[in-house]
Amino acid sequence: FETTIRRDGWSVFGEQVRWATFPSVAAGWAFSEEPWMKGLYWLSFGKIRASWGKSGQKFRQRYLAHGLMTGSGNTFLGNGGVLPDKQGGVINRKLTWEETDQYDVGLDVSFWDYRIKLTADYYYRYTKGQLSRVELPGDIYFHDFQWQNALGVSNSGVEVELTADFFRETAVKWRMKFNISRNWNRFKKSHDGWDYQGNVLGKPLYRMKVYKTDGFYNSMDEVPSYYL
C-alpha cells in the first residue's frame, strides 16, 4: 500500500487559485505468495494492483490570468505606449491548473519459472479545466475573448504485454514480446454545454466526418434522366 500527497503552486495563475493539492493512492496484492497458492507449481508470480491519483498541468503561455500587454510602437506625451496583447484576452483571475484524475487496474502474472510473463492494464483518465479560448459577446477590439478552464476530456484504454523466454540458458537466446493497446477518448464538457470547434459532446475527439450516401454512379448512363 502506498500513498502520496503534494501541494504545488505557480505564480502565473490567478491570485486566489495558485495552489492545488494532488493526492494519489496505490495498493497491490501478490496473491502468489499466499500459502494456499503454493501447490500451483506452474505459477511463478501473480499480483493484482490498483491505483488512483490526481495531477496538475500548467499551460505554456504565461500570465494569461493577468492580462498580457504588448508594446504598440505609439507614443503619448513622448512616452512609449502599450496595448492589450491580441493573444491575451480579457483578464481572468480564476484561471488555474488543468487537473487530471486517473484510475488504473492491473494484473501481473508469470508462469513456469518466469519464462512467460503477462501484464494487463485498464485505465480511465478524466481531465477537467482544460485551457480554452472562449469567445465573448460583442466585437470590442482586444476584449472579444477570454482564456478559461472550460473543457473536459476523458481517455480510457487497455494495454496487454506478453513476454516469452524460449531459450535463456543456452548460447543462443530467444525472447519474444507481443503487446497490444486500445484507447478511447470522449469530449465530455465545453464552456457552454454545446459542441465546440467540431467536437461533439459525448463523441470521440477529431473524428472523421463524411456524408452518408446511397451509392455512386459508374458512368453517366446510370444517371436517371427526366424530360419535362
pLDDT at 224: 84
Q: Which residue has the cell 504588448?
A: 70
Please give the mean pLDDT across all residues of the chain.
Answer: 86
Distance, in Å, from the CA atom of 113 to the CA atom of 126, rounded to the nearest integer, reads 39
Please give the Cα distance from 150 to 101 (Å, whole number). 16
The dihedral over CA atoms of 197, 146, 12, 55, expressed in degrees to the nearest 10, equals: -40
Q: Rounded CA gap, 87 and 201, in Å?
A: 26
Cα(91)–Cα(192) distance, rounded to whole angstroms? Answer: 19
Which residues, including other chains, have CB under 8 Å from residue 59's CB and lie 6 or more apart? 98, 131
pLDDT in tens, 148-205: 888 899 999 999 999 998 777 778 888 889 999 999 999 998 888 888 888 888 888 8
Mean pLDDT of 136-149: 76
For cell 459542441, name the residue: 195
Distances (CA, A) of 133 to 73, 85, 104, 201: 27, 14, 31, 17
In angstroms, how far is CA 87 from the centroid of its own chain?
A: 24
Q: pLDDT tens digits, residue range 39-69?
A: 888 888 999 999 999 998 887 777 778 777 7
pLDDT score at 227: 78
* pLDDT at site 49: 96
- Quickly state the pLDDT bin for 144 (edges 50, 70, 90): confident
The string of pLDDT tens digits covering residues 74-123 is 777 877 777 777 777 788 888 888 999 999 999 999 998 888 999 999 99
Q: Round to whole Å and give the CA distance between 180 and 190.
A: 32
